[in-house]
Amino acid sequence: MKLSNFNFNLPKELLAEFPAENRDESRLMVVNRKTNTIEHRLFKDILEYFDEGDVMVLNNTKVFPARLYGNKEKTGARIEVFLLRELNSEQRLWDVLVDPARKIRIGNKLYFGDDDSLVAEVIDNTTSRGRTLRFLYDGSYEEFRAKLNELGETPIPKYINREVVPEDADRYQTIYAKEEGAVAAPTAGLHFSKHLLKRLEIKGIDFAEVTLHVGLGTFNPVEVEDLSKHKMDSEELIITQDACDIVNKAKAAKRKVCAVGTTTMRAMESSVSSQKTLNPYVGWTNKFIFPPYDFSVADCMITNFHTPKSTLLMMISAFMGHDLMKKAYEEAVKEGYKFYSYGDAMLIL
């Protein structure tokens, strides 16, 4: 499989700028791999495809307000700082992206907030846009993190061509988000409402939670025609023994195990035994799944509609088969499904 196999024409008007009015009323395309059929439903109809004892695996990562705007010392130029990951909590060191990057050099200081209450010094260059910052703040670590939350805004993706609105803080977050650390939402989970989760629970569906802190590496463009040469950025991953027990019990009982989202699928595939059971894990993963690939744990998945040439589309192709993926995506474009983070959903059985 080459990069060019994953290109398709996506009309601009199919990019979702806003979420559906109600989480569980976005559209749902149901694709059955055995029968090669496609159905058009609403997300809340997902209830009909699962039975007692089936398991849905959720990524409980929580998005933090990762996008800050500061001013460069002396010139006052406005600089966007995107927090990627904390390197050292004691020294307040962070990996960040800066924009415009050409103006930001080692030794520069950036000032944040109307009162300049937060200052950062650039101490290293990591990539063309990447920098390491040391934040200078008079206060405890908890107060420092509170200040970041106060000054930061919800990091909705760049392609959403509008200002952040207050509703984004809620809607660009799953309702089961717990563990803070993601700079992008695990978007398949955005379609679940409290009411729908309750109805699934009443029907006897079990839930297991994993934590994969989504980084920007998930969205980094693939720039090599030979997919085996693409390197994914590492993302932090935690799989507990509890989650493994729930998943492995369902597999042993021949129940469905459904990965809610590509991040959940990647998390599970990063820690499997030779018997194709799920193992506990604490660490980092840079797993990149592209065709051909033999999946070990989940036998169905929920996902959004992804961008051309993205690593996410490559995983979907590996899971559902390339021809069926192309057929489903052609149908999605024809039927006007909404794409990307705030877009519609697909259930692959």
Q: At what angle do helices 262-269 and 311-320 cross, to 10 degrees?
A: 70
DSSP character string of 147-210: HHHHH-B----TTS-S---TTHHHHTS-TT--EEEESS--GGGGG--HHHHHHHHHTT-EEEEE
pTM: 0.92
- Which pLDDT band, with edges at 50, 70 and 90, does 1 fall under? confident
Burial string for 221-249 (b: 16+ CB within 10 Å, else e) reads ebeeeebeebebeebbbbbeeebbebbbe
Nearest alpha-carbon partner for 304 in 8, 19, 37: 19
What's the CA gap between 90 and 35, in Å, rounded? 56
**Domain 65-151, what fold?**
Thrombin, subunit H (2.40.10)
Residue 127's Cβ-side half-sphere holds a number of Cα atoms within 13 Å equal to 9
Give pLDDT, residue 159: 84
Give pLDDT, residue 216: 75
What's the CA gap between 301 and 319, in Å, rounded? 9
For 319, phi and psi rounded to 5 degrees?
A: -80, -40
Q: At 39, which helix (H) or strand (E)?
A: strand 37-42
Q: Which two tokens stand for residue 296?
A: 């070990």
The amino acid sitting at 298 is: A
For the ranges 85-89, 289-293, 312-316, the lowest mean pLDDT is seen at 85-89
Question: Per-residue pLDDT for 127 more than 80?
Answer: no
- Mean pLDDT for the stretch of residues 131-142: 92
- Which pLDDT band, with edges at 50, 70 and 90, does 191 fall under? very high
How confident is the prediction for the chain on average, in pLDDT?
A: 94
Question: Per-residue pLDDT for 73 more than 90?
Answer: no
Residue-range domain boundaries for the chain: 1-61+167-346, 65-151
User: Other C-beta atoms within 10 Å of 210: how many?
Assistant: 28
Q: Do domains 1-61+167-346 and 65-151 have the same CATH topology?
A: no
- Which pLDDT band, with edges at 50, 70 and 90, does 101 fall under? confident
The verdict on whether omega for the bond into residue 292 sits within 30 degrees of 0, i.e. cis, is yes
Give residue-wise pLDDT tens across range 144-180.
999 999 999 999 988 888 999 989 999 999 999 999 9
- Mean pLDDT for the stretch of residues 248-254: 97
Q: Distance of alpha carbon 53 from its chain centroid, rounded?
A: 27
- Mean pLDDT for the stretch of residues 194-215: 97
> Which CATH number is associated with domain 1-61+167-346?
3.40.1780.10
For the ranges 118-127, 193-202, 234-243, 260-269, the lowest mean pLDDT is seen at 118-127
